[in-house]
Amino acid sequence: VSAPARPGRRRRPRLPEAADAAFHDAHQPGVATRQQAHVALAAFDVVDDATPDDVRDVLAAWSAAAARLMAGGRSAQDVDAGRDGGEAHELVPAGLTLTFGLGPGLFDPARFGLADRRPIGLEPLPAFACDALDERRCGGDLCVQACADDPQVAFHAIHALTRAAHGIARPRWAQTGFVRRGTVEDRGRTPRNLLGFREGASNLRDPGQLARHVWVDRGDRTGMRGGTYLVVRRIRADLEAWDAAPIAAQERAVGRTKVTGARLEAPDRDAHTVRAGPALNGGARLLRRSYNFFDGVDTATGALDAGLLLLCFQRDPRRQYAPIQRALDAQDALARYGVHTGSAVFAIPPGCRPGGYVGEPLLEAP
Ligand code: HEM
């Protein structure tokens, strides 16, 4: 049910629905895909004695499994034979998308002999003032982003792919997240984060913007064309300090009103949306696909361990995430309400054809 178009109100373009996303496509799914309600993100370490062929085998096994999982293909025989854990048996795919990424460590000259294949934009992120990083939530040689409208389906995908990588790659860290998807009652509005503000209003949507800011074109390895880069930041919110701030101060920190999400007419110079916006960052923009997270209680302080799992896609993190984060480090009224506890960067190669695998043109190029 869609609301009747109001005269004079321009309809914003929307990203394609997850149910229409195909695993075999020019781009991997789960990037320019309308956000599902849940994410399960896992980063993996490849074992030190793995060969380049082992790495290729994992990506080939994952790609074959992903096409099957996204199509909801789970057979009773696989469950009976113990090849599938069975926890998603009889569940519909719930818009599952699977997105695979390659971390900087995979191309380390001292490791798998893949140094000459390293995607040009894939460099470890520099240190930032907002960092309070826990190494156990950072990095990784490979990543899988599983998004679905059912958390059990997303978990099952991570479980199945972890099994498929057994002996070659093992989970290093994982993070789940949730977001309220625009519903009929909400008239499809952008969802709210745990600070109570709507997020995504000024996000990238139309294909021209995606071509400009998200998809790799020239200036990188041929095997990355049609791919992108993912920056992950686990940002823990200081909800006690936030709750103590008057609403007017919260709105000034964001640069938007809380209830409606409208831009403030005269935002402060240090408002988050001003500092993160393209005007102050040489036109740099990000495709944000962030989720809220809630990981229980920090037993040392008694505070809720909750915040924002920032997932943002771009064609070059060195020219997009890094300068935007530096601008926020220098001055961002919102930054005093959160610290970054996890961080990772991954190259997201383009999509693959049936029979091929994600990363093949990059890893197999002569
Ligand atoms: C707890 C941390 C954060 C919260 C709660 C948060 C929240 C928000 C909100 C409410 C908006 C305005 C609505 C929208 O356009 O989406 C926004 C905009 C934005 N945020 Fe954040 N954000 C956080 C951290 C970050 C970080 C670390 C970055 C990147 C380095 C970032 C990049 C952006 C960008 C690029 C915009 C759009 C600015 C514009 O073009 O108007 N945010 N954020």
Predicted confidence (pLDDT) per residue in 44-53, tens digit: 999 999 999 9
In angstroms, rounded to a whole number, what is the distance separating the alpha carbons of residues 320 and 277? 11
**If 0-12 CB within 10 Å is exposed, 13-18 middle and 19+ buried, where does residue 244 land?**
exposed
pLDDT over 60 at 6, yes or no: no
In angstroms, rounded to a whole number, what is the distance separating the alpha carbons of residues 4 and 102? 43
pLDDT over 60 at 5, yes or no: no
β-strands 38-46, 169-178: how paired? antiparallel
pLDDT over 60 at 93, yes or no: yes
- Specify the pLDDT at position 9: 55
- Specify the pLDDT at position 309: 98
Tokens 């919102």 found at: 334
**What is the full DSSP assignment across 19-83?**
GG--SSSSS-SSSSS---SEEEEEEEEEPTT--HHHHHHHHHHHHHHHHHHHTT---HHHHHTTS
- Specify the pLDDT at position 201: 86
Closest listed residue to residue 176, CA positions, set 18, 288, 37:
37
pLDDT above 70 covers what percent of the chain?
A: 94
- The verdict on the CB of residue 277 being under 6 Å from ligand 1 is yes
Q: Which residues pair with 101 in a beta bridge?
A: 143
Ligand 1: which of 35, 125, 193, 199 to mutate, most ligand atoms within 8 Å of CB? 199
pLDDT over 90 at 123, yes or no: yes
Q: Quick one: which atom of ligand 1 is closest to the CA of 233?
A: 27
Average pLDDT rounded to a whole number, residues 109-134: 96
**If 0-12 CB within 10 Å is exposed, 13-18 middle and 19+ buried, where does residue 81 land?**
exposed
* Range scoring the smallest mean pLDDT among 12-26, 78-92, 143-157, 241-255: 78-92
pLDDT single digits (tens) 293-320 = 999 999 999 999 999 999 999 999 999 9
Averaged pLDDT score across all residues of the chain: 93
For ligand 1, the distance from its centroid to the CA atom of residue 26, given in whole angstroms, is 28
- The verdict on the CB of residue 309 being under 6 Å from ligand 1 is no
- The verdict on the CB of residue 275 being under 6 Å from ligand 1 is no
Instruction: Specify the residue with its C-alpha closest to ligand 1, atom 35.
Output: 276
pLDDT over 70 at 156, yes or no: yes
The answer for residues whose C-beta is within 8 angstroms of residue 355's C-beta and 6 or more apart is none
Task: Give the N- to C-terminal CA distance of the chain in Å, as an integer.
Answer: 51
Count the helices and strands in the chain (H runs, E runs): 9, 9
Tally of CA atoms within 13 A in the half-sphere of 201 that contains its CB: 16
Closest listed residue to residue 307, CA positions, set 293, 291, 288:
293
In angstroms, rounded to a whole number, what is the distance separating the alpha carbons of residues 155 and 176? 9
Strand residue runs (E) in 303-349: 303-314, 338-348
- Specify the pLDDT at position 92: 83
For ligand 1, the distance from its centroid to the CA atom of residue 276, given in whole angstroms, is 7
pLDDT over 80 at 110, yes or no: yes
Neighbouring CB atoms inside 10 A of 313's CB total 26
237, 243 Cβ separation under 8 angstroms:
no
pTM for the full predicted model: 0.95
Residue type, 232: V
For ligand 1, the distance from its centroid to the CA atom of residue 169, given in whole angstroms, is 33
Tally of CA atoms within 13 A in the half-sphere of 203 that contains its CB: 24
For ligand 1, the distance from its centroid to the CA atom of residue 67, given in whole angstroms, is 33
Three-class SS state of 177: strand
Three-class SS state of 2: coil
Q: What is the CA radius of gyration of the chain?
A: 20
Task: Give the pLDDT band (50/70/90) at residue 89.
Answer: confident
130, 335 Cβ separation under 8 angstroms:
yes
* Range scoring the smallest mean pLDDT among 3-7, 44-48, 125-129, 323-327: 3-7
Q: What is the three-state SS of 90-104?
A: CCCCCCCEEEEEECH
* Range scoring the smallest mean pLDDT among 15-19, 43-47, 99-103: 15-19
- Specify the pLDDT at position 365: 66
Tokens 């000034």 found at: 252
β-strands 291-298, 38-46: how paired? unpaired
